[in-house]
Amino acid sequence: MSTNIENEQKNLQKCFEQNIQLVQNVIDEIKFKKQSVNDIFMTADPWEERLIMNFKCDFERKIIEQKSTFYADYYCRLYFLDLLHQFNYDDETKQFKQQFNIDLLNALVRELEIRLASMTAYQAAYNGDIQTVNEFLKKYPAVKDKSGPWGTTLLYCASRNSHLELVKDLIENHRCSVNAQNRQHILRAVASPHHNTGYYDENSRAGSTALHGACFYGRLDVVKYLVEHNADYYIQNQAGQIALNHAACRKEIAKYFHEVLVFGYSSNLDSFPEGPIYEQEYCQTMDCIWEYKPFSTERWFPFSEYESLEIQKSLLQSNHEFQREVYLRLVKGVYSICLMKFLRSGRNLDYHKNLAWVRCRGSSFVNFDCYALWQIFLTKHPNAASDPIFDMISIPTSYDSQFEFHLRTWYFCNAQIDDQLDKAMKYRRRFVNIKVPLISDEPLKFNLETFSFTNQQNTVCGHVRWVPKMISNNSKNRDEIIDIDEYATMSSLNPIPLTTSRLKQVSQDNEDELIETMNEDDLSNHNDRDPIENVYIFHFSIYS
């Protein structure tokens, strides 16, 4: 750090000290005079207003003098101005745009005290001084995720310098947000992830998270901890970089992310993914593996390329009606695939021999623009019945003494587990720990590359898959979303998979219909008025 910057930081600290004294003197004088006449709770007297007005003028002159001393350290100047702007200070007129009162003075002195204490606390975070940081947050807990004198959060300071114990303390004890971002330009803060603008510079520290800092500086142990505590590696900083951009430049960290993320199923990405899988960004990319598992075995077998393409085409939405059953004509015979239940018949359509379950290892959004329901299949469980049920069953949402788990049976997950698995898939996570009620008291570790799960002792194991979420598509329901519970196959429902494009279309249609109805109501109300009143309103709108 240069001598000029060090001097300006000391100068900033001195400015805060001077301003605290200046504001506190006015507060103390007002309190003293009010107490002397026992009217501390009464409204402001003329002398109080004059005193505050004089203070405002003195404070504005003092600010002009103090601002001129900041020229070497951009962050010191910004931190000082940020404080002033909180109290409606206008840089052009060099005045506060609102009048001060005793409440505003108390708020100002409090903020000045926070800024002064932060000069020491944020430096302590850089140095790994847990005690000093704890004392600061104990006194000012609301500041835990805010940016300090150098535009960085406390968590970023600790992470970039590999102070793992302090990182743990901030997240576990002080509940700091693992994804809190450093200060950035306001236009970048409110922009969409893909929005570019020339109104701010490409400062990579601005808008960065703790994970950005840990990846950039090669802090592997901190990176692991942050990711395990749900750090988002796709958040963009002001330069448009995500943490994975920094990770790719660090060999050990890149290796870690290659173990954490799924880079593909039927094909592998050459580089780190640039973002999560967005529901509304469907592109026809086949990156999945179709498999089947005969009822009589625990092993999954891959379909041939031809078979996979036939199933793939049938599940994709197009102009033709959804095919609930696909026929595969092969040299060894004819098979059918029920896309409602992901179930394959035996050879030559024999439903009494060699039936097999089907699954697709890959994202339903990437491959089919399709929402999904997740299911689990137990292969090992100390309390499960060994005889399977050849159907798909929902797990009770609450305790049911009559309910019994069976091995080799597909169970629908609840909505919460669906959401967790969907999010993990969208973030391309290879592993995710989820607690499944009634199955295990401890979280199960799901592997979303192999589509399997197990507990820590390996006493509970099984498979996982998704099946398309089905909705009704009969003539009465084409303008709405009607779920088909537990995959009822009534022909009147004309079931089809729920796609993101279908949901978007129905939502837009409903929104347009609502607007049209509101406009009709407005017109109806307008026509119901007295004609003379209508004329009056019309002329009033012209001349007012």
Residue 543 has pLDDT above 70, yes or no: no
The answer to the question of residue 204 being in a domain is yes
Residue 538 pLDDT class (50, 70, 90 cuts)? very low
Same domain, 212 and 152: yes
Has residue 62 been placed in a domain?
A: yes
Q: Return all residues near 90 (Cβ < 8 A) that are at least 6 apart.
A: 96, 97
Rounded mean pLDDT, 274-295: 80
- Give the amino acid at 447: N
Is pLDDT of 365 > 60?
yes
Q: What's the CA gap between 466 and 339, in Å, rounded? A: 11
Asked whether residue 264 is domain-assigned, the answer is: no
What per-residue confidence (pLDDT) applies to 16? 94
Residue-level pLDDT at 286: 79
The residue that leads in pLDDT, 297 or 34, is 297
- For residue 52, is pLDDT > 80? yes
Can you give the pLDDT at residue 199?
45
Do 59 and 182 sit in the same domain of this protein? yes
pLDDT tens sequence across 293-324? 999 898 999 999 999 999 988 887 554 567 88
pLDDT value for 186: 61
Looking at residues 204-229, what average pLDDT do you find?
96
Residues 462 and 524 in one domain: no
pLDDT exceeds cutoff 90 at 193:
no
pLDDT value of position 258: 95
How many structural domains compose the chain?
3
Regarding whether 236 and 141 lie in a shared domain, the answer is yes
Q: Is 257 inside any structural domain?
A: no
Residues 142 and 54 in one domain: yes
CA angle, corner 260, sides to 255 and 264, nearest 5? 95
Q: Give the least confident one: 265-279, 391-405, 446-460, 488-502.
A: 488-502
pLDDT band at 396 (very low <50, low <70, confident <90, very high): confident
Do 100 and 137 belong together in one domain? yes
- Model confidence over 229-261: pLDDT tens digits? 999 999 999 999 999 999 999 999 999 999 999
**Which pLDDT belongs to residue 320?**
55
- pLDDT value of position 352: 82
Mean pLDDT of 321-333: 85
Q: What is the pLDDT of residues 64-77, one digit of tens each?
A: 998 888 776 678 88
d(C-alpha 403, C-alpha 72), whole Å: 71
Asked whether residue 137 falls in the same domain as residue 231, the answer is: yes
Residue 465: predicted pLDDT = 97
User: Which secondary-structure segment (H or E) carries 375?
Assistant: strand 372-380
- pLDDT tens digits along 59-112: 999 999 988 887 766 788 889 999 999 999 998 999 999 889 999 999 999 999
For residue 251, tell me if it sits in a domain. Answer: no
β strands within 263-332, DSSP E: 289-294, 301-302, 325-330
Residue 237: enclosing H or E segment and its boundaries?
none
d(CA 447, CA 290): 17
Please say which residue of 200, 223, 245 terminates a domain: 245
Nearest CA among 288, 211, 212 for reference residue 466: 288
The stretch 475-481 carries a mean pLDDT of 67
User: For residue 185, is pLDDT > 50?
Assistant: yes
Residue 400: which pLDDT band, with cuts at 50, 70 and 90?
confident
**Where are the alpha helices (H) located in 450-530, listed in sequence order?**
500-528
pLDDT value for 236:
93
Do both 114 and 228 map to the same domain? Answer: yes
Question: For residues 155 and 287, which has the higher predicted lDDT (pLDDT)?
Answer: 155
Residue 486 has pLDDT above 80, yes or no: no
Identify the domain containing residue 527 by its residue range. 504-543
More confident residue, 9 or 185: 9
Residue type, 400: D
pLDDT digits (tens, 9 = 90+) for 402-415: 788 899 999 999 99
Average pLDDT, the chain: 84
pLDDT, residue 436, reads 92
Instruction: Identify whether residues 226 and 144 lie together within a single domain.
Output: yes
Backbone phi, psi, residue 467, to 5°: -125, 150
Is residue 446 situated within a structural domain? yes
- Residue 319's pLDDT is 47
- pLDDT of residue 18 exceeding 50, the answer is yes
Most confident of 179-183, 492-496, 535-539, 540-544: 179-183
The upper half-sphere exposure of residue 470, i.e. CA atoms within 13 Å in the direction of its Cβ, equals 22
Q: Which of 479, 498, 517 lies at the terminal end of a domain, its last residue?
A: 498
CATH number where 185 lies: 1.25.40.20
For CA atoms 377, 380, 383, 384, the dihedral sign is positive
In this prediction, what percent of the chain has a pLDDT beyond 90? Answer: 55
Q: What is the mean pLDDT of residues 159-187?
A: 93
Distance between CA atoms of residues 79 and 459, nearest Å: 56
Provide the H-helix boundaries in 68-101: 74-86
Q: What's the average model confidence in pLDDT over 193-210?
A: 69
Confidence of residue 328 (pLDDT cuts 50, 70, 90): very high
Among 467, 483, 498, residue at a domain's last position = 498
Q: Residue 201 — very low, low, confident or very high, per pLDDT cuts 50/70/90?
A: low
> Does the structure show a pLDDT above 60 at 496?
yes
Give the pLDDT confidence of 498-516 residue by residue, as tens digits. 888 778 777 766 665 555 5
Q: Look at residue 533 in the predicted model and tell me its pLDDT.
A: 37
Question: Residue 269: its pLDDT value, please?
Answer: 79
pTM of the predicted model, to two decimals? 0.83
Q: What is the pLDDT of residue 423?
A: 95
H or E element, residue 141: none
Find where tokens 């197009």 sit: 318
Asked if residue 399 is part of any domain, the answer here is yes
Q: 443 and 295, same structural domain?
A: yes
pLDDT per residue over 410-436, tens digit each? Answer: 999 999 999 999 999 999 999 999 999
For residue 270, is it within any domain? no
- According to DSSP, the β-strands at 372-380 and 410-412 are antiparallel
**154 and 66 in a common domain:** yes
User: How far apart, in whole angstroms, are the C-alpha atoms of residue 80 and residue 18?
Assistant: 13
Q: What separation in angstroms does the CA of 257 have from each of 157, 246, 466? A: 22, 11, 25
Question: Is residue 134 domain-shared with residue 184, that is, in the same domain?
Answer: yes
**What is the b/e burial string over 301-313, where b = at least 16 CB atoms within 10 angstroms of the residue's CB?**
eebeeebbebbbe
